[in-house]
Amino acid sequence: MANVKCSIPKGTRDFLPMEMARRNYIFDTIRSVFRAFAFEPIETPSLENLSTLMGKYGEEGDKLLFKVLNSGDFMEGVDFSQDYHKVAPQICERGLRYDLTVPFARFVVQHRDQVVFPFRRYQLQPVWRADRPQKGRYREFYQCDADMIGSTSLLNELELVQMIDTVFLRLGINVTVKINNRKVLAGIAEMIGAPDKLVDITVAIDKLDKIGLDNVRAELAERGLTANQIQALDPVFALGGSAAEKIASLEAMFANVEVGRKGAEELKELFDLISAAKPHCTVELDLTLARGLNYYTGAIFEVKANDVQMGSICGGGRYDNLTGIFGMPDVSGVGISFGADRIYDVLTELNAFPEGLEQAARVMFINFGPAEQTACIGIVARLRSAGISALIYPDAAKMKKQMDYANRKAVPFVAFVGESEMRDGTVTLKNMADGSQQTLAIDEMIAKLQ
């Protein structure tokens, strides 16, 4: 058999034990906050029907969907001279999920009789995008989502901001939460005489941080906006001041634009709620924030780390009728998604992971031979029952080899059970940090290790 080169697909990663310990720290932190805010867990399949996914993420999103070939003779009867977009649905009926929100909307409709509205769910699962891999951007990555569905109250948006604040406070990341409203963007499109270009405007504006204002203007022109319409956007880009001052300017700007005025009203109410809540993080109104996903209809959020050059590490927004696509209209929802992989990169760059995450074992027992090994088995069982991670080195190897293993695995304590300890019912415990040793009764050792 020929040798196979060991490799994985671009944009995917293996995770070593240290990396998994750090990732689980992130997941556990986020999950604990979700639970504290009374969200309930669900899971959905990695594969969804393409009919569920297509058309929900915009033109660019559809291109990034991983499509899965049908099983069997999927080529039979297919005219491959047709356009790709006509061929693809005939040979691919399923795809890997692009995010967790659209599958959640499908879940809500499918299980409407089994959930209680308003429904608060959280979900931590991987998603896949056929994107170009680069720093902070992967083809397979985890999302950590929390959504409320079945309520239009802006208290829900406030709670999302509070969750963002709590998660990043616990993780030790200094962040800014940027907020806008898609009704404001719709109002701007109407105000400049291009209401039919809302999607084009949001897709282009969403790239402002990445490509700059001049390139955004060029893309808007490519998307069919006139020079006058593009110029009419300049006052929006130039709006400054506090959130209250920006909202006041929007209210004046939208005097005759109902949808924009409604968006400004929602922003005013939300920022009043945030002001009353007094979060630790910075919260600002960013009128250039667009978020390119088509299903957003109200408030939109994006979170940036202040001390690291990184894209958005959390984002989300309000969607008023996503379930309507699946036959359940007029059910409003709002949610956020934490990007665990980017959060990992931020914590790594900040060197902000807590010490000790890599410790698989709190204590390791030296193996002196069959009799001592047998004596250790019962002690280790008691330690594990007390919630203390413990192991016995599997072989009666040289002491240096066993101690080197404990050092490499960052085990903080090594235990010795020799002839005298077996006779006295004790254990000699060595602190690997300072080299000190104590001979203790088993109950005393358990108390010390706890």
| First-residue to last-residue Cα distance in the chain | 52
Please report the pLDDT score of residue 277 as a whole number: 97
Are residues 362 and 425 in contact, defined by beta-carbon separation less than 8 angstroms?
A: no
Could you give the CA distance from residue 66 to residue 58 in angstroms, rounded to a whole number? 15
CA 348 to chain centre: 16
Please check whether the two domains, 17-48+112-350 and 363-449, share a CATH topology. no
pTM for this structure?
0.86
Instruction: Locate the domains of the chain by residue range.
Output: 17-48+112-350, 49-96, 363-449
In this prediction, residue 216 carries a pLDDT of 85
Give Cα separations from 65 to 47, 94, 96, 212, 242 (angstroms): 11, 10, 7, 27, 39
Residue 238: what pLDDT? 78
Burial class (CB in 10 A: 0-12, 13-18, 19+), 379: buried
CA proximity to 417, closest of 387, 384, 441: 441
- Counting every residue written for the chain, the total comes to 450
CATH fold group of domain 17-48+112-350:
BirA Bifunctional Protein; domain 2 (3.30.930)
How confident is the model at residue 288, as a pLDDT? Answer: 84
What is the dihedral sign for C-alpha 288, 290, 296, 300? negative
Distance of CA 310 to the CA centre of its chain: 14
pLDDT tens over the chain, length 450 residues: 667 789 999 999 999 999 999 999 999 999 999 999 999 999 999 999 998 998 888 778 888 999 988 877 777 767 776 666 666 777 778 999 999 999 999 999 999 999 999 999 999 999 999 988 887 678 999 999 999 999 999 999 999 999 999 999 999 999 999 999 999 999 988 988 888 888 788 778 778 777 888 888 888 888 888 988 888 888 777 778 899 999 999 999 899 999 999 999 999 999 999 999 999 999 999 988 888 667 889 999 999 999 998 889 999 999 998 899 899 999 999 999 999 989 999 999 999 999 888 888 999 999 999 999 999 999 999 999 999 999 999 999 999 999 999 999 999 999 999 999 999 999 999 999 999 999 999 999 999 999
What is the spatial distance between Cα 213 and Cα 393, in angstroms, rounded to a whole number? 61
CB atoms within 10 A of CB 282: 13
Kindly tell me the sign of the dihedral angle through the C-alpha atoms of 311, 317, 322, 323. Answer: positive
Contacts 24+ apart (CB under 8 A), 237-240: 237/213, 237/287, 237/288, 239/287
The predicted structure's pLDDT at residue 388: 96
Domain 363-449 has CATH 3.90.870.40: no
Specify the pLDDT at position 57: 81
Q: pLDDT value at position 171?
A: 98
